[in-house]
């Protein structure tokens, strides 16, 4: 059972401070550390005490101090083991809260955001930048707008179990077009300092680049409530050019900082770029 009723030395002491007589306190100590499944069985046992009338006159206080949730001492009698389990549970709860509402770590397995984010970068994303999620509702408290240029974390539209990281390029209601690698927003050239075009791949594409979908796209009008995202590594990024728009409400966080780097293609002893540690994403 999740809920149980049990009197401890501390709870009995609380009742004593509330004015319970010494006789009643002594009688309650005979019930100390005994578990009861329901308030009815608990109060039935109390009713057998000599001072039952005095105690039951404080029924609300009694039930309040006796009520408990997920009591580990019910299943784990060894105190040392119980303290270890409690510490682990506490750490997991704190980690869940931090990851859901503050910062979450992500490892980058692909090069779609090169050079801003490289393969093997480990980043922290702020999970509060666009509002704090309300559990089981799909809503957010203190909701904030997504801005163009933000590096965002969101579930991949074709498989929500996979997290993607891309940069926001087009906003709701805008018309976006790509002409020869250049982005136009509402028919105005949008200058991008972060966009990377691999020169070697450009050579391979050669004259066929004019028809290549990464270099020429649209025009498309971005629906309300959606955003258009792309990787900074424009020739090597699966993004909105291929699988469509992202629901703005599905964005869960904003990329903030690289805290570690190790290329997974290298050995344990190689492939580190320590100079990338603690650098902020722009």
Residues recognised as catalytic = 112, 166
Residue 219 φ then ψ, to 5°:
-75, 150
Classify 66 as helix, strand or coil. helix
Give me the sign of the Cα torsion angle 88, 90, 93, 97.
Answer: negative
- Give the residue from 165, 225, 232 showing the smallest Cα distance to 198: 232
Q: How far is CA 13 from the centre of its chain?
A: 40
Sign of the CA dihedral running 14, 15, 18, 20: negative
Interatomic CA distance for residues 78 and 94, integer angstroms: 24
CA distance 90 to 84: 10
Query: Residue 275 contacts by C-beta under 8 Å, 6 or more apart in sequence?
Result: none
């Amino acid at each position: 059972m999740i809920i149980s009723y049990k009197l401890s030395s501390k709870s009995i002491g609380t009742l004593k401070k509330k004015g319970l007589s010494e006789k009643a306190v002594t009688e309650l100590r005979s019930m100390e550390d005994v578990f009861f499944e329901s308030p009815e069985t608990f109060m039935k046992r109390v009713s057998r005490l000599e001072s039952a009338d005095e105690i039951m006159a404080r029924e609300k206080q009694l039930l309040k101090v006796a009520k408990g949730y997920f009591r580990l001492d019910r299943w784990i009698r060894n105190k040392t083991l119980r303290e270890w389990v409690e510490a682990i549970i506490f750490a997991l709860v704190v980690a869940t809260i931090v990851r859901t509402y503050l910062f979450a770590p992500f490892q980058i397995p692909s090069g779609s955001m090169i050079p801003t984010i490289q393969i093997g970068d480990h980043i922290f994303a702020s999970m509060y930048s666009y509002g704090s999620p309300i559990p089981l509702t799909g809503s957010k408290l203190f909701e904030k707008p997504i801005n163009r240029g933000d590096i965002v974390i969101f579930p991949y539209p074709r498989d929500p179990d996979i997290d993607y990281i891309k940069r926001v390029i087009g906003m709701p209601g805008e018309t976006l077009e790509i002409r020869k690698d250049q982005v136009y927003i509402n028919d105005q050239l949008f200058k991008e300092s972060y966009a990377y075009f691999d020169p070697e791949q450009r050579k391979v594409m050669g004259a066929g680049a004019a028809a290549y979908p990464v270099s020429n796209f649209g025009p498309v009008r971005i629906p309300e409530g959606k955003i258009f995202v792309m990787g900074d590594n424009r020739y090597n990024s699966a993004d909105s050019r291929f699988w469509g728009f992202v629901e703005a409400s599905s964005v869960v966080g904003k990329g903030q900082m690289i805290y570690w780097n190790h290329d997974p293609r290298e050995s344990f002893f190689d492939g580190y770029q320590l100079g990338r540690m603690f650098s902020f994403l722009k």
